[in-house]
């Protein structure tokens, strides 16, 4: 007796997506799936697709699969993958482009959560010149609206009290560190981005 063969339907492919990214990412088509990038990635253990799998999915043109995964948001841009790559593929640039495109196309809920955290983190640096953990978490929760459920509010309050008791987090300070320097850095980055886009 033979067992029935069960196959999943192939997701729609977007060849224009694959060709465009191959043109924007240095040496993307030279990847031969050696997995050196994934073996060195410090966050590979929490990713749904490893960095080498992301490259493969991009080259296959599986745009929706790539833009809907959490890997592109978990990438810390530490450049370990690019450093280890024997073909000098700029994987960090690929992840940046995928995050940008995911944001433009409308990302999934997981992607929105990661983006909210990134925005809260950058906002802390911009306002204070450093990260204040208590304000960072407050900003993040206000962006995500998860704190509105009673269970989540209770969980956050218990965590905050426990961290304060252990000295892991302190009461937020109003002090600003190198505020004028930070403002200058953000101004220069904003001007450079405008020039690149315009």
- With respect to residue 3, please indicate whether it lies within any of the assigned structural domains: no
E strand intervals along 37-166: none
pLDDT the model gives residue 24:
94
Asked if residue 158 belongs to a domain, the reply is yes
Give the residue from 54, 87, 106 where a domain finishes. Answer: 106
Q: Is residue 1 included in any domain, yes or no?
A: no
pLDDT value at 28 more than 70: yes
Q: How far apart are CA 169 and CA 163, in angstroms?
A: 6
Residue 157 tokens read as 């309050």
Q: How confident is the model at residue 121 (pLDDT cuts 50, 70, 90)?
A: confident
Domain presence at residue 60: yes
Residue 111 neighbours by CB distance under 10 Å = 19
Residues 6+ apart with CB under 8 A from 131: 121, 124, 125
Q: How many domains does the chain divide into? A: 2
Q: Indicate whether 174 and 144 sit together in one domain.
A: yes
Host domain of residue 173: 110-197
User: CA-to-CA distance for 86 and 32, rounded, in angstroms?
Assistant: 10
143 in any annotated domain: yes
The beta strand positions in 42-191, using DSSP E, are: none
Do both 39 and 101 map to the same domain? Answer: yes
What stretch of H or E contains 113?
helix 109-128
- The answer on pLDDT for 103 being more than 60 is yes
Q: Does 87 lie in the same domain as 22?
A: yes
Question: How would you class 123 by CB atoms within 10 Å of its CB: exposed for 0-12, middle for 13-18, buried for 19 or more?
Answer: middle
Res. 134 pLDDT band, cuts 50 70 90 = confident
Domain assignment present for residue 79? The answer is: yes
Q: For 166-194, what is the mean pLDDT? A: 71
Which residue would you say has higher pLDDT here, 180 or 40?
A: 40
Confidence check: pLDDT of 147 > 80 = no
Greatest mean pLDDT among 141-145, 168-172, 173-177: 141-145
Q: Which of these, 8, 14, 10, lies nearest to 62 by C-alpha position? A: 14
Q: What local confidence, expressed as pLDDT, does residue 158 receive?
A: 84
Sign of CA dihedral 35, 40, 45, 48: negative
Split at pLDDT 50, 70, 90, the class of 116 is confident
What is the average per-residue pLDDT within 23-34?
94
How does pLDDT run across 45-81, given as a tens digit for each residue? 999 999 999 999 999 999 988 988 889 988 989 999 9
Please tell me which residue, 18 or 159, carries the higher pLDDT value.
18
Residues 175 and 95 in one domain: no
What is the distance between the alpha carbons of residues 83 and 101, in angstroms, rounded to a whole number?
24
Q: Average the pLDDT over 34-39 and give the result.
A: 94
Please, what sign has the CA dihedral across residues 184, 188, 193, 198? positive
pTM above 0.95, yes or no: no
Q: Is the pLDDT of residue 148 over 80?
A: no
Identify the CA nearest to 128 among candidates 184, 73, 176: 176
In a domain, 140, yes or no: yes
pLDDT averaged over every residue in the chain: 82
* Residue 87, token pair as written in the block: 């073909």
């Amino acid at each position: 007796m033979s067992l029935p063969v069960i196959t999943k339907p192939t997701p729609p492919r977007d060849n224009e997506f694959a060709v465009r990214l191959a043109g924007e990412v240095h040496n993307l088509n030279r990847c031969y799936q050696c997995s050196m990038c994934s073996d060195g990635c410090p966050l590979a253990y929490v990713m749904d697709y490893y960095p080498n799998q992301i490259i493969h999915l991009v080259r296959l043109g599986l745009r929706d699969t790539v833009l809907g995964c959490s890997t592109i948001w978990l990438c810390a841009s530490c450049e370990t993958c690019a450093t280890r790559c024997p073909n000098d593929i700029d994987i960090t640039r690929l992840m940046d482009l995928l995050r940008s495109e995911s944001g433009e196309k409308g990302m999934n809920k997981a992607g929105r959560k990661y983006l909210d955290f990134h925005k809260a983190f950058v906002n802390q640096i911009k306002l204070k010149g450093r990260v204040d953990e208590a304000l960072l978490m407050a900003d993040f929760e206000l962006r995500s609206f998860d704190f509105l459920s009673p269970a989540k509010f209770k969980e956050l309050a218990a965590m905050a009290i426990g961290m304060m008791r252990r000295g892991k987090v302190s009461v937020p300070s109003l002090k600003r560190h190198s505020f004028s320097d930070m403002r200058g850095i953000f101004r220069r980055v904003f001007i450079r981005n405008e020039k690149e886009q315009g």
